[in-house]
Structures are given as C-alpha cells and as structure tokens.
Amino acid sequence: MKDMKCSELREKSVPELEEMLLKEKADLYKARRDLVFRQMTDISSLSVRRHNIARILTVITEKKK
C-alpha cells in the first residue's frame, strides 16, 4: 500500500475515482478488523488509508464542480 499523489488522482475520471474510493474503504474496514483480531501490527497503514480516502473525496468534489 502506498500514499497516493493528488496529481495521479486528478488524471482519473470520476467513475474511476469512485471505484478507487470503494476499494480503499473496503481495505480500511479489513485493516481495522485485522487490528481487532490481532492479525495486523502495522498501525500506520490505517492513517495512510484514511488520508487516501480524503484525497480521493477531495478530487471527486473538485471534478464535480
């Protein structure tokens, strides 16, 4: 998992961004679940996923205006 760049996101269309958003939200849910069941020890990945979701939502809002 990597930190997404806004320039990469701005090149994509709104449907692609919405698909990426759903995938990131699902991955965040799985990561939280794994954390609860002690299957994951990398807590920093949660904040990276949340930041990615925020970036995607920001770019979607910019494109819809």
pTM: 0.87
**Domain boundaries of the chain, sorted by first residue:** 6-58
What is the tens place of the pLDDT at every residue in 1-56? 577 788 899 999 999 999 999 999 999 999 999 988 888 788 888 999 999 999 99
Alpha helices (H) along 1-65: 6-10, 14-36, 44-64
Structure tokens at 17: 């961004």
